[in-house]
């Protein structure tokens, strides 16, 4: 691929910050579809595809889902909520890892088009799954929120560990 | 951001496939650093930053790590292996989700520069952590492999669920 393309992908990935302050504008349908598609195209362990997405834009539905988490009162204020469901496949490690892969694909694609996002844990993940109509065995451990950042919004510039405390060569320390 | 940039990010994310067939060329140092940096910049729940990376290029070290997984005999053939370690923070859901986010950032940035990758589960994750010198409590559940794809390599065009079986509006079915 051309150097300019690859470098801009790196810049988008590098500058992405989780934020929760939105201006309320709805996302264009085309972008919503690209975000969902980015999640769908994420790989999964042994192609098990345990992830399902539920797009929520109805205020009442967002409020109901918010009740399944401890720090999720922000959900109704986000123009788009994407609930991440996990089908029962039996692999506990792989499922959450795969969910993280799908989530990051979606958030990076959104960020490339100027849309901020943030994952939110749903502590009552089985209740959330029932609420959204999933059969027994499914759970919804996470909900992503998406929206255009408020003017002057903090992009949550949270400090990262120094590179040399995060990345090691051949061996830890 | 300019439409051309955002669209190319979408295209990179959309076309990324997990592959295990490499031509053996080493990755340039600058790219290895960008990949690691992409992992470091991934967000984490409550900024807990549970993830650590160990870059492996020494054949002997790769072979030792490969012994910690059931389907990981491919590891030594990859020019770059990145072991994903998880520090003991107490949050079990968030940690693997965060590891998936960091992994996807790294694999997308690599793919933008023509480098293929694939996650591999290390079933003996605690043994892998000891092997790499991490203290008690850490585990290494995943190792990513990176390399330039072999000419004519299959990019693992594994089928995805149809969009309408993966994405739902407001409610599952």
* Residue B153, domain member (yes or no): no
What 8-state DSSP symbol labels residue A115?
Answer: -
Share of chain A above pLDDT 90, in %: 79
Q: Looking at CA atoms only, how far is residue A82 from chain B in angstroms?
A: 9
Beta-strand (E) ranges in chain B? Answer: 51-56, 80-86, 116-121, 139-147, 167-169
Whole-angstrom distance, CA of residue A51 vs CA of residue B48: 24
* Residue B143, domain member (yes or no): yes
- Taking CA–CA distances from B52, the nearest residue in chain A reads A166
Three-state DSSP at B13 gives: helix
* Residue A31, domain member (yes or no): yes
Q: What is the pLDDT of residues B99-144, one digit of tens each?
A: 999 999 999 999 999 999 999 999 999 999 999 999 999 999 999 9
Nearest of B172, B101, B10 to residue A55 by alpha carbon: B172
* Residue A124, domain member (yes or no): yes
Q: Which of A6, A54, A108 sits opposite B13 (nearest CB)?
A: A108
List the single best residue of B17, B35, B55, B97 to mutate versus A (max A Cβ within 10 A). B97
pLDDT at A4: 72
* Residue A76, domain member (yes or no): yes
Q: What is the pLDDT of residues B23-62, one digit of tens each?
A: 989 999 999 999 999 999 999 988 899 999 999 999 999 9
Q: What is the pLDDT of residues A4-38, one digit of tens each?
A: 777 789 999 999 877 889 998 999 999 999 999 99
Contacts of A76 in chain B (CB under 8 A): none
Question: pTM for the whole thing?
Answer: 0.95
Model confidence at A152, pLDDT cuts 50, 70, 90, reads confident
Q: Looking at CA atoms only, how far is residue A57 from chain B in angstroms?
A: 7
Classify each residue of A66-88 as buried b or exposed e, where b means 16 or more C-beta atoms within 10 Å of its C-beta. bebbeebebbbbbbbbbbbbbbe
Q: Looking at CA atoms only, how far is residue A91 from chain B in angstroms?
A: 11
CATH code, domain with B42: 3.40.109.10
* Residue B28, domain member (yes or no): yes
List the single best residue of B30, B171, B173 to mutate versus A (max A Cβ within 10 A). B171
Q: Which of A99, A104, A169 sits opposite B55 (nearest CB)?
A: A169
Q: Which of B8, B93, B158 sits opposite A141 (nearest CB)?
A: B93
Segments forming the whole domain that contains residue A39: 18-148
Please say whether the beta carbons of A71 and A142 come within 8 A. Answer: no
Please say whether the beta carbons of A71 and A81 come within 8 A. Answer: no
List the single best residue of A1, A3, A4, A9 to mutate versus B (max B Cβ within 10 A). A9
* Residue B168, domain member (yes or no): no
ipTM value for the complex = 0.94
* Residue B157, domain member (yes or no): no
Q: Which of B45, B58, B167 sits opposite A55 (nearest CB)?
A: B167
Whole-angstrom distance, CA of residue B84 vs CA of residue B82: 6
Determine whether the interchain pair B85/A172 forms a contact, defined as Cβ–Cβ distance below 8 Å: yes
Tell me how many domains chain B contains: 1
Classify the C-alpha dihedral B67-B71-B75-B76 as positive or negative: positive
């Amino acid at each position: 691929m051309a150097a300019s393309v690859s470098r801009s992908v790196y810049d988008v990935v590098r500058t992405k910050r989780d934020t929760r302050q939105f201006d309320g504008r709805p996302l264009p349908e085309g972008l919503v579809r690209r975000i969902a598609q980015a999640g769908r195209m994420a790989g999964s362990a042994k192609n098990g595809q345990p992830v399902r997405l539920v797009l929520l834009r109805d205020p009442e539905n967002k409020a109901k889902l918010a009740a399944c988490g401890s720090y999720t009162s922000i959900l109704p204020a986000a123009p788009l909520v994407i609930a991440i469901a996990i089908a029962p496949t039996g692999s506990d490690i792989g499922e959450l890892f795969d969910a993280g892969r799908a989530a990051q694909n979606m958030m990076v694609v959104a960020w490339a088009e100027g849309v901020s996002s943030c994952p939110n844990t749903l502590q009552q993940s089985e209740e959330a799954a029932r609420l959204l109509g999933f059969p027994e065995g499914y759970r919804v451990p996470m909900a992503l929120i998406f929206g255009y950042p408020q003017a002057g919004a903090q992009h949550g510039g949270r400090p990262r560990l120094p590179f040399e405390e995060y990345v090691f060569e051949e061996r830890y320390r």
